[in-house]
Amino acid sequence: MAILKGACIIGQSGGPTAVINASAYGAIRAALDSDVITKVYGAAHGIKGVLDDVLYIMDEEDADELALLRNTPSSELGSCRYKMKDPDVDDTDYKRILEIFKKYDVRYFFYNGGNDSMDTCNKISKYMQKVGYECRVMGIPKTIDNDLFGTDHCPGFASAAKYIATSCMEVSKDATVYDNAQITVVEIMGRHAGWLAASAALASHFGAGPDLIYLPEVDFSMEQFIADVEKIYATKNKVLIAVSEGIHYADGRFVSEAEVSATDGFGHAQLGGLAVKLADVLKKQTGAKVRGIELSLLQRCGSHLASKTDVDEAEMAGRVAVEAATAGETDKMVAFERVMENGQYTCKPVLLPLSSVANYEKKVPLEWINEEHNNVLEAFIDYALPLIQGEPERATEFSLPRYARLKKVVAK
Amino acid sequence: MAILKGACIIGQSGGPTAVINASAYGAIRAALDSDVITKVYGAAHGIKGVLDDVLYIMDEEDADELALLRNTPSSELGSCRYKMKDPDVDDTDYKRILEIFKKYDVRYFFYNGGNDSMDTCNKISKYMQKVGYECRVMGIPKTIDNDLFGTDHCPGFASAAKYIATSCMEVSKDATVYDNAQITVVEIMGRHAGWLAASAALASHFGAGPDLIYLPEVDFSMEQFIADVEKIYATKNKVLIAVSEGIHYADGRFVSEAEVSATDGFGHAQLGGLAVKLADVLKKQTGAKVRGIELSLLQRCGSHLASKTDVDEAEMAGRVAVEAATAGETDKMVAFERVMENGQYTCKPVLLPLSSVANYEKKVPLEWINEEHNNVLEAFIDYALPLIQGEPERATEFSLPRYARLKKVVAK
């Protein structure tokens, strides 16, 4: 493959994670170190930064500050949720991107995100091929939801899983401290895939976690839910329940959005999330003290509890994307293959065609969910436990996190 | 003072914290090591365990497991919220306690808790004196609320403050990632005192925290609140707000309980907490994307983010209580005096009469709150920052917390 000299753009997209900046660091560092990449730009707010011509010059950043990206949560370059149109219908954005690529002599484009971002990445790659502009395009995976197709797991998932498991252990300790009856419902992210809610089972595995876990992979029944809770409530007067925000009835309605008029007695629109709603239903059913806890944004940006395995793999994904592209690859996403040898986990990066991953969703296998549909089986623990291992070094300042402080010099 | 030989009881009471078990460990370890304490009992669920005759024999526990209490959140012996009657009105409970004390030859009683627990402790102490039963009674302070009178700060506060500050930093990173307008309201514990909500200012101090902080020490005005938010919203389209759960209107009504019919447009009872309610008000006012986050139980049991200073001081408080009692002290609470020498913080234990601390509440000084009543001043940072320093060693098992596993052998 011919050597391709030129600038690169790195963009972050979709919901932030605890380690997406580690991927950015892996890519930026490798690009800065590359002989063929002439300039390294970070796009402000993903593809919107390209469209708006707001590119940060990464070559201007201090190396030590860049390294702090490894433990800075959220997307330091800014993110977006921008859905690209089909270029055959409207190619305005694509023409603009091409214009910017030409303006800065961009020959490498690295995009870090989830399903929608891989779709963006794929469309840009195909468009550049169609118009004959030589540019190598690589996707870097990211999503706490862990629902990207073709990869064993996604950077960001494990750190969120570790946050969720640790928090569930702590809540489990707290919620059982009095001798009176108490029911606690913990709401966990995951609209369509239950990987994160399932991670609460890691807490139970170590003796302090939820009694029941409900995932969106199977239909939810309020009657069965109440029966499940009452069964446990009858034997011990404490019940801890983890629910995925995406649980839905058999007819497809999200429980979080459906009115629960039969049980709540009034049936008007309610503020507050699913946890509060379910806690309220259980309070009326049992009379117990109930509490709904929503892990909210905390679960996806909890970099203080990041998995070292996750941070290292995220960084590797960024680095591999750059190294593969400069070696001639294009139109691919970096994916992870799990290698188990003598019980030891290692993660091998592989490259998948972008078109094979965009727009597919990977869910928790049904055979990992128990027969009663209210917990996950050992297979899930075997899958998730290796991913959450290790504590990364964290920079602190007066015992609080010290995040990267970038200059963000905008290219003219 | 004469040597007093006999057994001791250690009880935990009130809301759990990340370090109340460190105090229990300090007391239990010192009691086990003492020459005059003949047996060490842990009361199941505080004073209720005494009344119900459910005492765990601490002498039977493995030393290494006991040491893990240093980083086990919540109250491992169980807690209670049991209000003792005035013994002059009804002395039934006191007679029962005396009976149990005599049954097990209990000559030392250590009670670890907040305001109400110090009241319990005080009443028991005075009753034993009245009936002439020789028993040394010591209070060990604990409360994330930091509202105990007579002590510079309370064990438990600093670890919660550190959790709150770190979480606010992470949320601040996450909630500013998109380029669209976003307003986030974080609800923090503290019904009457604003120490915990004020701790969010530690995050702002290090560049990633709330723009506005509202405490229960001053009256809340919804109109002023909206004006404060809109002012910041007009200059940057992201606003992060921390509110204490105890904020109240000038007439005393808690904002969390009052209907906000003028602004919410319907005025019926709402599920969900204060954060959700305020976020809803702001959504209607600004049209921005809003999010309410309740730190909930997570903030008081987040032992994975505990302050080493707090853990060490909590343990010291337990140890000092036992050592002082065996040396002849009684009827006291261990308190902390802050010593600042050459800018270096140290904490000196002092003993206060129980009657001087029970039933008083310490609030954030008004001179530490800004003129606009929407933030705290540098004086608060100077106060809180030394308390959150240091990361304790944490036992882990497959990168998840390894908590103490006690046998809890019940005394017959």
Has residue A264 got a pLDDT over 50? no
Contacting residues of B for A405, CB less than 8 Å apart = 207
Q: Do A78 and B177 touch (CB under 8 A)?
A: yes
The whole-angstrom separation of Cα B356 and Cα B103 is: 31
Contacting residues of A for B167, CB less than 8 Å apart = 298
Of residues B353, B303, B56, the one with CA closest to residue B162: B303
Q: Which amino acid is at A233?
A: Y
* Residue pair A157/A310 in contact by the 8 Å Cβ criterion: yes
Q: What is the ipTM of this complex?
A: 0.96
Residue with tokens 């983010």: B305
pLDDT digits over B54-93, tens only? Answer: 999 999 999 999 999 999 999 999 999 888 899 999 999 9
Contacting residues of B for A398, CB less than 8 Å apart = 206, 385, 388-389
Residues of chain A with pLDDT > 70, as a percent, come to 96
| Burial annotation B398-412 (CB, 10 A radius, 16+ → b, else e) | ebbbbbbebebeebe
| Averaged pLDDT for residues A254-274 | 60
Predicted confidence at residue A267, as pLDDT, reads 40
pTM for the whole structure: 0.96
Local confidence band at B394 (pLDDT 50, 70, 90 cut-offs): very high
Tokens read off for B219: 């009256």
Local confidence band at A260 (pLDDT 50, 70, 90 cut-offs): low
Min Cα separation A46/chain B (Å): 9
The whole-angstrom separation of Cα B403 and Cα A208 is: 9
pLDDT digits over A285-302, tens only? Answer: 999 999 999 999 999 999
Q: Do B173 and A301 touch (CB under 8 A)?
A: yes
Indicate the range of A307-311, A342-346, B257-261, B277-281 predicted with least confidence.
B257-261
Partner residue facing A170 (CB), from B45, B291, B298: B298
Q: Which residues contact A30 (CB under 8 A, 6 or more apart)?
A: A318, A319, A322, A323
Tokens read off for B267: 């005025």
Q: Do A301 and B171 touch (CB under 8 A)?
A: yes
* Residue pair A271/B290 in contact by the 8 Å Cβ criterion: no
Predicted confidence at residue A408, as pLDDT, reads 98
* Residue pair B284/B276 in contact by the 8 Å Cβ criterion: no
Q: Are strands B400-401 and B396-397 parallel, antiparallel or unpaired?
A: antiparallel
Min Cα separation A200/chain B (Å): 12
Tokens read off for A365: 């296998």
Predicted confidence at residue B266, as pLDDT, reads 38
Partner residue facing A398 (CB), from B300, B385, B403: B385
Q: Do B400 and A202 touch (CB under 8 A)?
A: yes
Partner residue facing B400 (CB), from A73, A165, A401: A165
Q: Which of A116, A145, A280, A331 is catalytic?
A: A145
Q: What's the burial of B268, exposed, middle or buried (CB within 10 Å: 0-12/13-18/19+)? A: exposed
Cα distances (angstroms) measured from residue B360 to each of A289, B150, B198, B314? 28, 9, 20, 21
| Averaged pLDDT for residues A74-95 | 94
pLDDT digits over B223-248, tens only? Answer: 999 999 999 999 999 999 999 999 99
Q: Which residues contact B201 (CB under 8 A, 6 or more apart)?
A: B209, B210, B213, B375, B376, B380, B381
Q: Do A174 and B403 touch (CB under 8 A)?
A: no
Q: Are strands B238-244 and B212-214 parallel, antiparallel or unpaired?
A: parallel
* Residue pair B351/B323 in contact by the 8 Å Cβ criterion: no
Q: Do A179 and B294 touch (CB under 8 A)?
A: no
Predicted confidence at residue B260, as pLDDT, reads 55
Sheet with A332-341: list strands edge to edge. Answer: A55-57, A37-43, A6-12, A106-113, A136-141, A332-341, A344-353
Predicted confidence at residue A360, as pLDDT, reads 79
Predicted confidence at residue B315, as pLDDT, reads 98
The whole-angstrom separation of Cα A214 and Cα A203 is: 15
Among left, alpha and beta (phi > 0; psi -120 to 50; other), residue A74 is left
Q: Do B16 and A398 touch (CB under 8 A)?
A: no
Has residue A377 got a pLDDT over 50? yes
Tell me, what DSSP letter sits at residue B353?
Answer: E
Of residues A106, A85, A82, A87, the one with CA closest to residue A12: A82
The whole-angstrom separation of Cα A117 and Cα A131 is: 21
The whole-angstrom separation of Cα A169 and Cα A203 is: 5
To probe the interface with B, which of A56, A76, A199, A271 has the most B CB atoms within 10 Å?
A271
Tokens read off for A162: 């570790």
Q: Are strands B344-353 and A55-57 parallel, antiparallel or unpaired?
A: unpaired
Q: Are strands A212-214 and A37-43 parallel, antiparallel or unpaired?
A: unpaired
Predicted confidence at residue B264, as pLDDT, reads 41
SS3 B64: helix
The total number of residues shown for chain B amounts to 412
Tell me, what DSSP letter sits at residue B254?
Answer: B
Q: Which amino acid is at B31?
A: A
Predicted confidence at residue A376, as pLDDT, reads 98
Has residue B268 got a pLDDT over 50? no
Min Cα separation B119/chain A (Å): 19
Q: Chain A: residue nearest B82 by CA?
A: A178
Contacting residues of A for B403, CB less than 8 Å apart = 169, 173, 208
To probe the interface with A, which of B282, B284, B297, B391 has the most A CB atoms within 10 Å?
B297
Q: Which residues contact B320 (CB under 8 A, 6 or more apart)?
A: B26, B334, B349
Backbone Cα Rg of chain A: 23
Q: Do A304 and B75 touch (CB under 8 A)?
A: no
Residue predicted with more confidence, B34 or A261: B34
Predicted confidence at residue A354, as pLDDT, reads 93
Q: Do B203 and A400 touch (CB under 8 A)?
A: yes
Cα distances (angstroms) measured from residue B106 to each of A385, B23, B133, B243, B383? 46, 20, 10, 45, 39
Q: Do A271 and B270 touch (CB under 8 A)?
A: yes
To probe the interface with A, which of B187, B400, B403 has the most A CB atoms within 10 Å?
B400
Break chain B down into helix, strand, coil percent, rounded to 5: 40, 20, 40
Predicted confidence at residue B1, as pLDDT, reads 63
Q: Do B400 and A300 touch (CB under 8 A)?
A: no
Q: Do A401 and B169 touch (CB under 8 A)?
A: yes
Local confidence band at B116 (pLDDT 50, 70, 90 cut-offs): confident
The whole-angstrom separation of Cα B47 and Cα B14 is: 11
Tokens read off for A78: 């800014």
To probe the interface with B, which of A296, A300, A305, A311 has the most B CB atoms within 10 Å?
A296
Q: Chain B: residue nearest A77 by CA?
A: B177
Has residue B271 got a pLDDT over 60? no
Contacting residues of A for B391, CB less than 8 Å apart = 396, 399
Min Cα separation A75/chain B (Å): 6
Q: What is the mean pLDDT of chain B?
A: 94
pLDDT digits over A9-47, tens only? Answer: 999 999 999 999 999 999 999 999 999 999 999 999 999
The whole-angstrom separation of Cα B69 and Cα B303 is: 11
| Averaged pLDDT for residues A44-51 | 97
Task: State yes or no: is A382 an active-site residue.
Answer: no
The set of long-range contacts for B273-276, using a CB threshold of 8 Å and a minimum separation of 24, is: B273/A272, B273/A276, B273/B187, B273/B245, B274/B187, B274/B243, B274/B245, B274/B247, B275/B185, B275/B186, B275/B187, B275/B243, B276/A271, B276/A272, B276/A273, B276/A276
Has residue B393 got a pLDDT over 80? yes
Indicate the range of A262-271, A356-365, B136-145 predicted with least confidence.
A262-271
Min Cα separation A107/chain B (Å): 26
Of residues A191, A281, A272, A266, the one with CA closest to residue A228: A281
Q: Chain B: residue nearest A272 by CA?
A: B272
Tell me, what DSSP letter sits at residue B92?
Answer: H
